[in-house]
Structure 1
Amino acid sequence: SVTNMFTSIVGNVFGFKALRALRLEDLRIPTAYVKTFEGPPHGIQVERDKLNKYGRPLLGCTIKPKLGLSAKNYGRACYECLRGGLDFTKDDENVNSQPFMRWRDRFLFCAEAIYKAQAETGEIKGHYLNATAGNCEEMIKRAVFARELGVPIVMHDYLTGGFTANTSLSHYCRDNGLLLHIHRAMHAVIDRQKNHGMHFRVLAKALRMSGGDHIHSGTVVGKLEGEREITLGFVDLLRDDFIEKDRSRGIYFTQDWVSLPGVLPVASGGIHVWH
């Protein structure tokens, strides 16, 4: 249980009056404990097999404006992006179920866009449908509807949604053939201060154990904070089976993932053609 792990390690100590500040840089997860987790629903290799796309990055974009479009116009934007050559389009984390675009309508129009683009290009396409909801029952309901539509992937905000909800959704996705994209909304509240909180690599390790096929790992050149070597360290941590400590990439331990499937790191946040 990732929830129980964090309760035990960081539950009370950060609130002690005797401490002015405290920073958790990394955790070494024992291999015996790693084996108790199922990890990502599918992993990198299975995803590439599902999509039949090898030897290159997967290319996607987030639909903008993030809020305000009707479901029909949103679906049209998805179709144009997918037809133009992208592998994926994505709901922004703020897109949920607002009066101007209810989630069920969005799912239907996006599924139509996916099937139309697939028929015209001969490629497998997808859209990260945001299943994040106010309770676990509603979240699973949205994932069930996505599966019934036959789309390949759903999305979850794992920090705002919580690790318990994320693990439940991961189990559902594994059992029903859905890929799971993870957005890290709220991470900077926890990890941006250099003298207090916890490093993003801890949150990334927790996600690999909780379950997710993709996670936003940041980018060196975009609009969000992130240093080159540190970001490359996240990439190794998420993808590789064994990670050696490397002080040039931050303060962290050697980690053996004992064949836990890898997570696809997503470079996101202000990427444009000049990068």
Structure 2
Amino acid sequence: MSERIYATYFIETPYPVDRAAEVMAGEQSSGTFTRLANETDQLRANHGAIVERIEPLESVDAPSLPMRPLQGGGDSPRYQRANVTLSWPIANLGPSLPNLMSTIAGNLFELKEFSALKLLDLTLPMSFAKAYPGPQFAIEGTRQLTGIADRPLIGTIIKPSVGLSPQQTAEVVEQLVEGGIDFIKDDELQANGPHNPLKARVDAVMPVINAHAERTGRKVMYAFNITGDIDEMRDHHDYVAKAGGSCVMVAVNSVGLSGVTHLRRHCRLALHGHRAGWGLYSRSPYIGMSFIAYQKLWRLAGVDHIHVNGLRNKFSEPDDSVIASARGCLTPMFEPPAPGCEVMPVFSSGQTALQAVDTYRTIGSTDLIFCAGGGIMAHPGGIGAGVRSLRQAWDAAVQGVRLEDYATEHHELAQALEAFR
């Protein structure tokens, strides 16, 4: 049997659901608004998308998104919701991520038949695993690079996001590495701006990290933001590597699938994926795509880590979505012997010692990066105490001990609970 691509959508339509689903299938494969003479039955059989499954859901009185008025007037329609799975033959596009996007997330969002349409999940054939590099370091490699075998990486973000000079950035880094941090990243807003150019920042930061590694035998991972044009990213990657760095970061939505794939094929450092702009896809429940589908694309392209937000975060995303996102990152995409492409989820956004227990309980894994900005830097005992408070919180989580009980013998955790509640 030939390989097929499967995509599941949430839809809402005032038309019969089976008819609306067929419109989706036709628009995204061999069909158009009318039957063509050379669109033969054989061509449709070989290249047409198939409606694999329809799961009816509830109906509502009003459209969730604006849509053109129905022709013919009459009584106000009901808007039927459903989950619909379509499939396409791989022969239509080949194992190509950019063309996959055009197929599964292209014109269908504009079809007049729908008052809601959201991509929920995606299943790809083995040919994609063979065509794309996937993560180079992922979970195991990141642990080897950082020397951390069996606990979360405790990380942070350089703040203020912009405005610091390279030397001021290095001063913050020095405080962090002396405080015991595992992972530091540039903010997504700071890449190669004229007030803090990438190469000058590398020149200021890496001597601090390298000197700390010589003293302690453990190199802190710093994710330098090299988001930019293709040639610029390659050049900056090489500059970081030559300076002894172990990680670079890209804002994946800004660079695109082709940009990330190109960088991954060149890359010899861990590739940290930031999802800045993700809200464009996710904020509405009625249009866009779920993170479950989204993260599969970037895993294939080759990121080793990707952001998933955090519990009780400062943004609009609910906790159940954050946990589903993290679980998705840790779930294999393909059956053995193909690589599973699992990547490290990165928790961030308003995280403190308070979220550790719930995060561990809901995902049951320590294979993650736990980034806290204020949760470290605003700790009453200082940066080192902030780092220790997070480690203590995660120790309590793994041991199944209440934070309050663990805090009775761990002063830094006790300070964090008092400061951040």
Pairing 1:197–2:291 present: no
Q: Who is 1:128 aligned against?
A: 223
**Would you identify which runs of 4 or more consecutive aligned residues in structure 1 move more than 6 Å?**
none
**Residue identity matched to 1:185:** A
**Contact kept? 2:146, 2:221, Cα under 8 Å:** no
Greater Cα shift, 31-40 or 149-158: 31-40
Q: Residue type of the partner of 2:314?
A: K
Q: Determine which structure has more spread, i.e. the larger CA radius of gyration.
A: 2
| % identity of equivalent residues | 29
Q: CA deviation at 1:17?
A: 3.0
Deviations 1:146-173 (A, max 9, x none): 1111110000000111111011111112
Q: Does 1:225 align with 2:311?
A: no
> Where in structure 2 are the equivalents of 1:149-164 lying within 5 Å?
149-164=243-258
Separation (CA, whole Å) in 2 of partners of 1:191 and 1:170: 25
Mean Cα deviation higher: 197-206 or 54-63: 197-206
Aligned partners of 2:226 and 2:248 also within 8 Å? yes
Q: In structure 2, which of residues 185, 203, 207 is the aligned counterpart of residue 112 of structure 1?
A: 207
Aligned AA for 2:327? D
Higher relative contact order (CA 8 A, sep 6+): 1
Q: Deviations over 1:7-45 (max 9, x none)?
A: 122121112233333111111222343333221122211
Contact 1:38 1:260 in 2 (8 A): no
Residues 311, 351 of structure 2: 8 Å contact kept? no
Unaligned ranges ≥5, structure 2: 1-95, 356-421
Per the alignment, residue 241 of structure 2 pairs with 147
Residues 1:104 and 1:241: Cα distance change in structure 2 (over 3 Å): same
Question: Is residue 263 of structure 1 aligned with residue 357 of structure 2?
Answer: no
- Could you tell which deviates more after superposition, 110-119 or 193-202? 110-119
CA distance in 2, matches of 1:149, 1:205: 31
Shift of residue 228 of structure 1? 3.2
Contact 1:129 1:155 in 2 (8 A): yes
Q: What is the aligned counterpart of 1:6 among 93, 101, 109?
A: 101
Give the superposition deviation at 1:67: 0.8
SS in 2 for 1:215: strand
**Letter of the structure 1 residue corresponding to residue 236 of structure 2:** R
1:216 aligns with 2:310: no
Q: What CA distance in whole angstroms lies between the structure 2 residues aligned with 1:229 and 1:146?
A: 37
d(CA) in 1 for partners of 2:347, 2:151 = 14
* 2:109 corresponds to 1:18: no
| Residue 87 (structure 1) aligns with | 182
Deviation at 1:119, TM superposition (A): 2.5
Distance 1:232 1:20 in 2: 28
CA distance in 1, matches of 2:317, 2:113: 31
**SS in structure 2 of the partner of residue 18 of structure 1:** coil
Alignment of 1:226-265 (within 5 A): 226-241=317-332, 256=335, 258-265=338-345
The 2-side partners of 1:240 and 1:27 are apart by: 13
Moved more, 106-115 or 119-128: 119-128
- How many residues align structurally? 259
Partner Cα separation in structure 1 for residue 250 and residue 128 of structure 2 = 25
Q: CA deviation at 1:191?
A: 1.3
Query: 1:79, 1:116 within 8 Å by CA — same for their partners in 2?
Result: no
SS of residue paired to 1:193? coil
User: TM-score, normalising length from structure 2?
Assistant: 0.59
1:102 and 2:182 matched:
no
SS in 2 for 1:156: strand
Q: CA-atom RMSD, angstroms?
A: 1.7
- Displacement of 1:256 in angstroms is 4.3
Distance apart, 1:212 and its partner CA? 0.6
User: What's the CA shift string for 1:192-219, capped at 9, x where partnerless?
Assistant: 1001111122111111111111100111
Is the 8 Å Cα contact of residues 146 and 219 (structure 2) preserved in structure 1?
Answer: yes
Q: TM-score, normalised by structure 1?
A: 0.88
Stretches of structure 1 that go unaligned for 5 or more consecutive residues are: 243-254
Q: 1 or 2, which has the higher strand percentage?
A: 2
